[in-house]
Structure 1
Amino acid sequence: MDPGKQPPAGAQAVGEILPGLIRRLRPSGEEDTVRLLGLWEAAVGAETARHARPAAFRGSRLVVHVSSSSWLHHLHLRRAELIEAVNRCLGKRAIREIILRIGPCGT
């Protein structure tokens, strides 16, 4: 806009409307995802956290990457326990299913 021109009536600065727009467009459950990443080790224990990391959280389904097939098998047997522990830390029943996949997990 030219320095001498006035903005149209009713116009708002981008900085005023952008924060509200971002909040409305943010996928639902994003706050739970951020909280889950922060409490993962406390929920599952240090040893498990070294070999498994949340990779995606959509709806009530949590995808977890694990470091090896042996950890995948071990955690598969503990899925119900993991779901209960994570939900307890989140303070609600946000996760109903855990899908385990071999993938990058920070080890």
Structure 2
Amino acid sequence: MTVGSDAASSVPETVATYLRLRGLAPTARVARRRRRRMDDENQPFTAGRDPKGVADVLTDLTRDAGWDAQLAREDVVRTWNEVAGAETARHTRPVGFVDGILTVQADSTAWARQLQLMRSQILTEIIRRFPEAGVENVRFIGPDVPSWKWGPRAVPGRGPRDTYG
């Protein structure tokens, strides 16, 4: 009797079994397991096995998950005091970020107008500190007041006020 799985040798089945049980002729499954064990990256004392700090692990995690841009935008809001300056930050606050436009609300229309004149300096500072945030423009608005306008498109004219009779 010969073993059909051994392509190169015609060894009797009893001898093949004996060699396989003694570990002299590994089966395909054992060979795969040994190869996997040898290629395993979890072997001690190999290259790339140095311990990493928590900051490095979190940086890798956020980069792999694609959170870098969102976290950078959050950092812009969190450090608004440093980006805009203490006096300016006292009278303003970031309120939104849509399509690369950071919206900042001011205490008064005068502050909003003054900040529109300083837009290039503030935008340059944001891009310098947080390039991955994706801020392309800064929009300054005045205090929150009720408006008849709803949505980004509106029909020109006086609106519903002209129907009061």
Q: Per the shorter chain, which TM-score range?
A: 0.5 to 0.7
Deviations along 1:36-73, one digit per CA (max 9) or x if unpaired, are 11111111100000011111012311100001011011
Aligned sequence identity (%): 24
Indicate the residue corresponding to 2:107 in structure 1: 67
Q: Following superposition of structure 1 onto structure 2, how do residues 4-83 of structure 1 map, counting pairs within 5 Å?
A: 29-83=69-123
Indicate the residue corresponding to 1:19 in structure 2: none
Contact 1:55/1:64 (8 A) holds in 2: yes
From 97, 100, 106, the equivalent of 2:137 is 97
Residues 85 and 28 (structure 1), Cα distance of their counterparts in 2 relative to 1, 3 Å cut = closer
- TM-score by length of structure 1 reads 0.64
5+ residue gaps, structure 1: 1-23
Return the structure number with greater relative CO, CA threshold 8 A, min gap 6.
1
Contact 1:40/1:86 (8 A) holds in 2: no
Which has more strand, going by share of residues? 1
SS in structure 1 of the partner of residue 140 of structure 2 = strand
SS in structure 1 of the partner of residue 134 of structure 2 = coil
User: Considering only CA atoms, is the larger Rg found in Structure 1 or Structure 2?
Assistant: 2
Deviations along 1:2-52, one digit per CA (max 9) or x if unpaired, are xxxxxxxxxxxxxxxxxxxxxx8xx99432221111111111100000011
The CA deviation at 1:85 is 0.9
Alignment: residue pair count = 80
Runs of 4+ in 1 over 4 A off after TM superposition: none
Contact 1:87/1:95 (8 A) holds in 2: yes
5+ residue gaps, structure 2: 1-64, 145-165
Matches of 1:43 and 1:86, distance apart in 2: 7
